[in-house]
A and B are shown apart, each in its own frame.
Chain A
Amino acid sequence: MNTNTPAVDYGTWKMLAWTGPVFFIGFFIMWGLLADNFPPMAASTSAQDMWQHYKDLQTEITIGMSVCMVLGSCYMTFGAAVSRVMRRIEGQEGMLANVEMMGATITYCPIVVACGIWLTCAIQIDTLSPDMAQFCYRLGWMIIDLAYMVTSWQIIAAAIVFLRDKREKKLVPAWVSWWGFVTVASFFPVSLIPFFETGPFAFNGMFNFWIAFPTWYVWIVSMSIFIIKAVGRIEIEDGAAQPKETAVRGGSAVASH
């Protein structure tokens, strides 16, 4: 045994993997439900109505966006856990694990900036004109939506590596990787949001909000579930843990094979 090889810290790895569910559950509650973004205010809403929206929901948006700015960082830590699983497949010299981690990390940037803009709009709503409230609301959407290519690189990198997994039972099932390609394909029409205030391509429209976002959400949820499982499987592969079937029963270990 090579005593120079550092021990793998499975506990930290699992904890990072669990930040995926923290991200998607937290965002669903704080951004979606509390800050009233299900559905979001329409792009065509008048400046006065947008101002009133922030005035009426000032506390909810303030709390929701403040928490989201903190929770958004969990996407980065989740990306780090995914990256380590990818490295087990593509090896230490693989570049796609780096692309995935960079993609997840940089995805946090537009999230935190957009939430920061919406937060500031809420806390200063009494001193802002309706036009400024409208500007802030739209600015946040443009930033959070049009940065999709960074996330696309993250998803593509993960999909390619997990499809290359030679295990009989892949660490992440092939359908999750293919769903990743679907997610990336659904992102491209989001580039149309600056041009439309109504219809399917507005930022609150059918395509951008009701297709691209849920498709990404399904990817995050499914990837989180399988990454949490993958870390456990790798621990067993490494011999650092025993499969559940070999659990100690009545004081004696019962082997599965």
Chain B
Amino acid sequence: MVAVRGGSTTPRRLPGVEGVWVFVAADMSFFALLFVSFMLGRQDAVEVYEASRQTLDVNFGGINTLILLTSSWLVVLAVEAVKRNELKNVPHLIAGAFLLGAAFKVSKALEYGGKIKAGITMLSNDFYMYYFTLTGIHLLHVFGGNILLIVLWNKARARQFTKDNCVVLECGATYWHMVDLLWIVLFPLLYLLR
């Protein structure tokens, strides 16, 4: 397949390898089923869900959204830099993405800590079950992503990525964008939906 850009033809291809897209599609399908399950549960107990939602700190959710969006953006810059063969800054960009991932974890720890201190757990009611489990499973993905970013950072420092050899970086970036995208759905679903 080719795309026409400014009169010239550029071959189009899927970033990374097909397998990582299989993973992303399946993983997001699992989350989609849980989102549907949440909405169905909400229909049956709107008042409980709404009252519980109001106890969540929107600021935490908003800051976390900014953190992940920025982290994802840094990974985009790293991929772009590799494709321009500007390899010097790539490790710094990936390190920045990693640090923001770590910041997300600290933020979640503070948020969870506050809830547990207030006597709220995933067993308190169905809303909190979804709140803790959905954000918890997402947090596991962030942990996985951070490990991946360490691997990518090491490879970038060793100058293993080049314009013609950046499939691994693209795979990692695809996964990290998925983690970001899932949060972008989770944030309004849990924190904002009235």
A interface list, Cβ under 8 A from B:
163, 174-175, 177-179, 181-182, 185-186, 188-189, 192, 195-196, 199-201, 206-207, 211, 215
Contact = CB atoms under 8 A, between A and B. Distances in A.
Contact of B33 (A163, A182, A206): A206
Interface of B: 17-20, 22-23, 26-27, 30, 33-34, 37, 41, 122-123, 126, 129, 133, 137, 140
23 contacts: A174-B19, A175-B22, A178-B23, A179-B26, A181-B23, A182-B22, A182-B23, A185-B26, A188-B140, A189-B137, A192-B133, A195-B122, A199-B37, A199-B126, A200-B33, A201-B129, A201-B133, A206-B33, A206-B34, A207-B30, A207-B34, A211-B30, A215-B26
A189 B133 contact: yes
Nearest to B27: A185
Given A179-B26, A188-B140, A211-B33, 19 more contacts: A174-B18, A174-B19, A175-B19, A178-B22, A178-B23, A181-B23, A182-B26, A185-B26, A185-B30, A186-B30, A189-B133, A189-B137, A192-B133, A195-B123, A199-B126, A200-B33, A200-B34, A207-B33, A207-B34
B133 A178 contact: no
A125 to B, nearest CB: 31
Minimum-distance CB pairs A-B, first 7: A178-B19, A182-B26, A178-B22, A174-B19, A200-B37, A178-B23, A181-B23
Contacts of B140: 188
Contacts of A211: 30, 33
Contacts, number: 50
B154 to A, nearest CB: 17
Contacts of A201: 129, 133
Q: Which of A182, A186, A206, A211 counts the most chain B CB atoms within 10 A?
A: A182
B26 A174 contact: no
A182 B27 contact: yes
Instruction: Summarize A's interface: helix, strand, loop or mixed.
Output: helix
A196 B19 contact: no
Contacts of B30: 185-186, 207, 211
Contacts of A186: 30
A201 B34 CA distance: 10
A177 B33 CA distance: 23
Contacts of B33: 200, 206-207, 211
B20 A178 contact: yes
Contacts of A179: 22, 26
A163 B16 CA distance: 14
A196 B26 CA distance: 24
Given A182-B27, A188-B140, A177 B19 contact: yes
Contacts of B22: 175, 178-179, 182
A175 B137 contact: no
